[in-house]
Amino acid sequence: MAATSELSPSKILETPINAHDSTSEPHPTPPKSPQINEPINDVVTTEKRKRDDGDGNADEDDKPSLHPLWKTSLCSYFRKHSTCSHGDTCRYAHSEEELRQRPDNTWDPTSERGKKMLKSVTGEKIAVKDGVMMTELVDEVDGDGGGEEGFASNQALSKCLVHLPMKWTSENLRTFLNEQGIPFKHAKTRKGMSIGFVTFEDEEQMKSSAKDLQGKQIGNKTLEVADVNPRSFEKKSNSNVPSSGTLGDETNDDNLVIDGSESKKKSSREVVTPLAHLSYADQLEQKKYSLMQILKKLPRNARKACPNGVSVPEWILKSREIGGLPCNLEGIIESPIVNGYRNKCEFSIGNSLEGKVTVGFSLGNFREGVTAVEEPVDCPNISTIACKYAAIFQEFLQHTELPVWNRFKNCGFWRQLTVREGRSNGNVVDAETFDGIAEVMLIVQVSTASFDNAQVDAEFKRLAQAFVTGATSHCPTLPLTALIVQDHQGISNVAPSDAPLHSLPITAGDPERDVNISAADVRIHDYISNLRFSISPTSFFQVNTLAAEKLYSLAGDWACLGPDTLLFDICCGTGAIGLTLAHRVGMVIGIEMNAAAVSDAHKNAENNGIKNCRFVCSKAEQVIGSLLKEYLDVPKEQVDVPSICGSVSDIPEDSACPDPGNGENASPCSENNNLEIENEVPKESTPENGNTPVQQFKNVVAIVDPPRAGLHPTVIKALRTHTRLRRLVYISCNPESLVANAIELCTPSPTEMERGNKDNRGWRRMSSAGLARHRAKSMPISEAFKPVKAMAVDLFPHTPHCELVMLLER
């Protein structure tokens, strides 16, 4: 649960989070009944004994004086059972009406008012009062032929309705208005969006109708009415157009702002780096507090998922002693560089609020109707060199003959600019300059469908010349290593990994350069822990290189590595984690689905002389099971123990790496971890008798670094059911998905498997934690993990995000 006010996290932690937490104060002792507890002869037994408040004249309104938090939290017992044994003496509120505001001007986070405040503080939802900024003119409706004449020229008599049902057509909107008795001239919706437009006959009709529509309930949504405000440049262009006319077809569809508040426009700095206004120390405190609230979901949901007849794990019972956390959150590691740390920036291409073609960042969510793009001005996480190239590209787009991508019509040519940077070895970059950035790769995403090839080729030549000229004319000269064009035809700018790539020749300064170089061979390079990594256009690499070194070092320390360790690097990308830890283990098995990234990983291992690594190109859920069997299973004739799930043989507990109980970073690893161990690497051949390879590693560890969605259920099942895997280090850029995956990994198995799918209906509406509880019930019988400790690493200063590392052990 995120913070519920704008107070600093340190102040928020002083107030109870849950009304019945172990950290909150107990109920005040109710007055004793004289008929039960004390025989008092002088009191008539039919009368209740008056409570002694210290003031005989105190009335009901003086109850808050009993305690500063009187009635400031909802009674959880009352909500569950519709009654409370304490009656009127209960210090907790039994309804929303009875609930009082806390002394720090916050509300109980579980109350409706607290939830609304939570959304406004964490920015989970864009408030309507902040305005809906749309630069594309909405002159097309949902495909029902409802493009009413006169809407564009009568914007002063139009209103925007926000929070309409997403599936509504224009006909649904007109029917709704007629049912409500709202007079109107034109009404239409936009397909795939929760907004609609209504035009009225006159101003009086518009005002009265807007008043009637404001706050109307449509299902579980509350209707909001916003103004449709033409911008200044549009007013000038419309001044010469007759009021009865419509805008011509020559407009660039970027001439309208739908906005309910003229004064509350967000800047790119506020959108991209919402914590930039705080000091770095305060940012870390806020992130730590947010992580604690998310981690508290793990023991709560794991307790609910525990099957009947199975004792609750000890780590869940002990969670109350540490504030409801599943394990100790040992802090958050600072980023070595706070400003200009991103080595990869993706700039959108669109129109600004003034209608100018702009390269920068979107000011909001497209689903909320926000399409405006603003230049990356004063964004502290963006490097100077990335801003320079964005400005060069923006200047080029002012004179191009090809249109920019229109997200409403899903057509256009120029879509996105990506700037990838590679730093030289050992240089810590000063945020004020771009010294230390040795290589730069530019990736321009376009959509070439329906455009003439000759015209496209001519524009690409002009584009390459513009970047070269802009780089060389700058003082000092901007590094430029490669220019790639990505052809993507989809609706979203998120292109698949196999989208076509083309390399554009850059001849300036290097006349011998091969103009026919393949885009698949283009690489830039970066360094982590003195290892040189090749980075292809689409491969994953941590955006904060210096902080990634600390992240990987922490993961290696917690993994308890040694020469007898087999390390599985799941979702390995270019192999950064496995390669940086290869000198500390016997062998590394990396799994990655991106073919270009796997190719980079092989090259990285070869370039750095690392020979104890193997990389597999596939989805982890498709090969993890077979790889675990290949390297972990031993022939049945060698180990005569019961098998779990038909494939995994159990082993003694002491064969795994000892628990570092006496020290956080204790490890059995010897001091000679840097010894040459390539002769000890097992061969990948299979014995002639067909049996699986003989066990060669005593310690088996997995480090997973999945995308934001988390691990696939099949991967979780494979990790959970192979009991030779005793230790798991989970690195997550999304703590919510970590909690969901940990529920499945750490929930005890039932004594007997239930057959049939029960309560499967409504899974689409489940939260990630609820869905994880549901999956945990069908987990094969196996030994569960337990969370041991967690720590965050701040890879993304000035933003609410950070990487969370959790150690799980059996």
Residue ranges of alpha helices (H) inside 195-324 are 203-213, 232-238, 268-272, 280-295, 297-305, 314-317
Q: At 221, which CATH number?
A: 3.30.70.330
Is 396 a member of any domain? yes
Kindly state whether residues 387 and 475 are assigned to the same domain.
yes
Is 428 a member of any domain? yes
Q: Which residues pair with 293 in a beta bridge?
A: none
Give the rounded percent of residues in the chain with a pLDDT score beyond 90: 37
Lowest mean pLDDT among 436-445, 696-705, 740-749: 696-705
Kindly state whether residues 95 and 187 are assigned to the same domain.
no
State yes or no: pLDDT of 8 exceeds 80: no
Over residues 410-419, the pLDDT tens digits come to 889 999 999 9
More confident residue, 211 or 17: 211
DSSP 8-state code for residue 754: P
At 84 the pLDDT is 79
Calculate mean pLDDT across residues 379-384: 93
At 413 the pLDDT is 94
Query: DSSP states of 552-613 as a string?
Result: HHHHHHHTT--TTEEEEEET-TTTHHHHHHGGGSSEEEEEES-HHHHHHHHHHHHHTT--SE
Kindly state whether residues 101 and 203 are assigned to the same domain.
no
Is 71 a member of any domain? no
State yes or no: pLDDT of 586 exceeds 70: yes
In angstroms, the Cα distances linking 349 to 139, 265, 346, 368 are: 21, 19, 10, 18
Lowest mean pLDDT among 58-72, 135-149, 164-178, 453-467: 135-149
State yes or no: pLDDT of 496 exceeds 90: no
Contact (Cβ atoms closer than 8 angstroms) between residue 79 and residue 97: no
Is 16 a member of any domain? no
Contact (Cβ atoms closer than 8 angstroms) between residue 714 and residue 621: yes
More confident residue, 139 or 611: 611
Is 147 a member of any domain? no
Residue 542 labelled as part of a binding site: yes
Asked if the bond preceding 476 is cis, omega within 30° of 0, the reply is yes
Domain end residue (candidates: 117, 144, 176) = 117
Kindly state whether residues 426 and 505 are assigned to the same domain.
yes
At 37 the pLDDT is 39
Rounded to an integer, what is the distance from CA 421 to the centroid of its chain? 23
Could you tell me the pLDDT band of residue 17, with boundaries at 50, 70 and 90? very low
> How many alpha carbons fall within 13 Å on the CB side of residue 119?
10
Over residues 652-684, the pLDDT tens digits come to 333 334 333 333 333 333 333 332 333 233 334
Q: Which residues pair with 221 in a beta bridge?
A: 218
Domain end residue (candidates: 227, 255, 282) = 227
More confident residue, 233 or 798: 798
Kindly state whether residues 363 and 465 are assigned to the same domain.
yes
Domain range spanning residue 91?
Answer: 76-117
Give the rounded percent of residues in the chain with a pLDDT score beyond 70: 69
Residue 633 labelled as part of a binding site: no
Highest-confidence segment of 132-146, 325-339, 485-499, 746-760:
325-339
Q: What is the mean pLDDT of the chain?
A: 75
Kindly state whether residues 397 and 490 are assigned to the same domain.
yes
Domain end residue (candidates: 193, 210, 227) = 227
At 90 the pLDDT is 83
Highest-confidence segment of 504-508, 730-734, 770-774:
730-734
Contact (Cβ atoms closer than 8 angstroms) between residue 359 and residue 417: yes
Kindly give, in sequence order, each residue whose CB lies less than 8 Å from that of residue 687, ignoring residues fewer than 6 positions away: 693, 694
Calculate mean pLDDT across residues 370-397: 92
Whole-angstrom distance, CA of residue 602 vs CA of residue 613 = 9
Whole-angstrom distance, CA of residue 362 vs CA of residue 287 = 24
Q: In what order do the strands lie in the sheet with 482-487?
A: 373-374, 357-362, 344-351, 414-423, 437-446, 482-487, 501-504
Q: Which residues pair with 217 in a beta bridge?
A: 222
Residues recorded for the chain: 810
Q: In what order do the strands lie in the sheet with 699-704?
A: 328-333, 786-793, 803-809, 727-732, 699-704, 565-570, 587-592, 613-617
Kindly give, in sequence order, each residue whose CB lies less than 8 Å from that of residue 805, ignoring residues fewer than 6 positions away: 551, 554, 555, 558, 729, 730, 731, 732, 790, 791, 792, 793
State yes or no: pLDDT of 587 exceeds 70: yes
Kindly state whether residues 94 and 183 are assigned to the same domain.
no
Q: Which two tokens stand for residue 653?
A: 């507990």
Contact (Cβ atoms closer than 8 angstroms) between residue 31 and residue 66: no
Q: At 354, which CATH number?
A: 2.40.50.1070
| pTM of the predicted protein model | 0.64
Could you tell me the pLDDT band of residue 26, with boundaries at 50, 70 and 90? very low
Kindly state whether residues 163 and 113 are assigned to the same domain.
no
Q: Which two tokens stand for residue 622?
A: 């498709």
Whole-angstrom distance, CA of residue 238 vs CA of residue 244 = 11
Kindly state whether residues 354 and 453 are assigned to the same domain.
yes
Could you tell me the pLDDT band of residue 702, with boundaries at 50, 70 and 90? very high
CA end-to-end distance (rounded Å), the chain: 28
State yes or no: pLDDT of 612 exceeds 50: yes
At 58 the pLDDT is 40
Lowest mean pLDDT among 4-18, 170-184, 421-435, 441-455: 4-18
Is 206 a member of any domain? yes
Kindly state whether residues 99 and 215 are assigned to the same domain.
no
State yes or no: pLDDT of 470 exceeds 90: yes
Calculate mean pLDDT across residues 770-774: 83
Kindly state whether residues 350 and 454 are assigned to the same domain.
yes
Q: Are strands 786-793 and 328-333 parallel, antiparallel or unpaired?
A: parallel
In angstroms, the Cα distances linking 465 to 3, 269, 711 are: 50, 31, 44
Catalytic: 733?
A: yes
Kindly state whether residues 111 and 163 are assigned to the same domain.
no
At 5 the pLDDT is 38
At 342 the pLDDT is 94
Active-site option among 306, 733, 746, 802? 733
More confident residue, 81 or 132: 81
Query: Total domain count for the chain?
Result: 3
Residue 592 labelled as part of a binding site: yes
Is 707 a member of any domain? no
At 420 the pLDDT is 95
Over residues 634-644, the pLDDT tens digits come to 443 333 333 32
> How many alpha carbons fall within 13 Å on the CB side of residue 351?
26
Calculate mean pLDDT across residues 358-370: 82
Over residues 275-323, the pLDDT tens digits come to 999 999 999 999 999 999 999 999 999 999 888 888 899 999 999 999 9
Contact (Cβ atoms closer than 8 angstroms) between residue 555 and residue 686: no
Q: Which residues pair with 524 in a beta bridge?
A: 535
Residue ranges of alpha helices (H) inside 163-279 are 170-179, 203-213, 232-238, 268-272
At 492 the pLDDT is 83
